[in-house]
A = this chain, B = another copy of it.
Amino acid sequence: MEDKVAAKAEQAAIASPRRAPTQQRSRERVERMLAAASALIAEQGSDAMRMGEVAERAGVSIGSLYQFFPDKRAIVWALAERYTAESQACIAAALKDVSDAEGLKQAFSELVDIYYRLFLAEPVMRDIWSGTQADKALRELELADSRANAEFLVAVLKRLRPDADPVELETTAFLVWQMGEAAVRLAISVDRGEGDRLVAAYKRMALRELLAE
């Protein structure tokens, strides 16, 4: 886990020169910065998050913040990167052993539910992925994540329909995945009852496409 943070900070450093924490002390401080940022985003949204406030709550100076993050976006990006890494592992596990239509139906439905509940429960996630489109780096992260997740789906589809056109499958899986993210984001922005109906409708729509092409 700590390695992941270091790797991320390193990546961010590439984009705009910033040091990656190598000492134990600084790694812990970076951890605190991210925790502070996460808390502030949960409270007020990433837009209202102030760098000074992040520093203060993390118990570090504003200068230290910029030692490891090139700018405000990089902090949000780092948090987003964690979520995608976690969820990718979860998705891969859920789809790993699917080998028939019924299994896909089950696994897919469950994944959508998990994703939906996650968004309902996690204000930070909601905030980060709401603003996704406005930030180029975040958009790219989301696209890459979506493609990666679509790949897991493609693997399943290839097992179910080995004679189908691979490009078609790729397109379908990618589209279905992105639609799912859009559907969930939509669902959480309306009242709960309608949100549930929308998610259910999405599942039907997606599964029909995945299974009955």
A residues neighboring B (CB under 8 Å): 47, 130-134, 139, 143, 167-168, 171-172, 174-176, 178-179, 181-183, 185-186, 189-190, 194, 197-198, 201-202, 204-205, 208-209
**CB–CB B183/A198 < 8 A:** no
Chain B residues with CB under 8 A of A143: 189-190
**Residue from A175, A189, A202 having most chain B Cβ neighbours under 10 A:** A175
CA distance A179 to B185 in the complex (A): 11
How many copies of the chain does the oligomer comprise?
Answer: 2
Chain B residues whose C-beta falls within 8 Å of the C-beta of A205 in the assembled complex:
175-176, 179, 205, 208-209
Q: What distance in Å separates the Cβ of A41 from its nearest Cβ neighbour in chain B?
A: 13
Some 21 contacts from A to B, beta carbons below 8 A apart, are A47-B134, A133-B133, A143-B190, A167-B197, A171-B194, A171-B197, A171-B201, A172-B201, A174-B198, A175-B186, A175-B198, A175-B202, A175-B205, A176-B205, A178-B182, A178-B186, A179-B182, A179-B202, A181-B182, A205-B209, A208-B208
Taking the nearest CB of chain B, how far is it from the CB of A16, in angstroms? 17
Instruction: Give Cα A168–Cα B134 distance, bound, in whole angstroms.
Output: 33
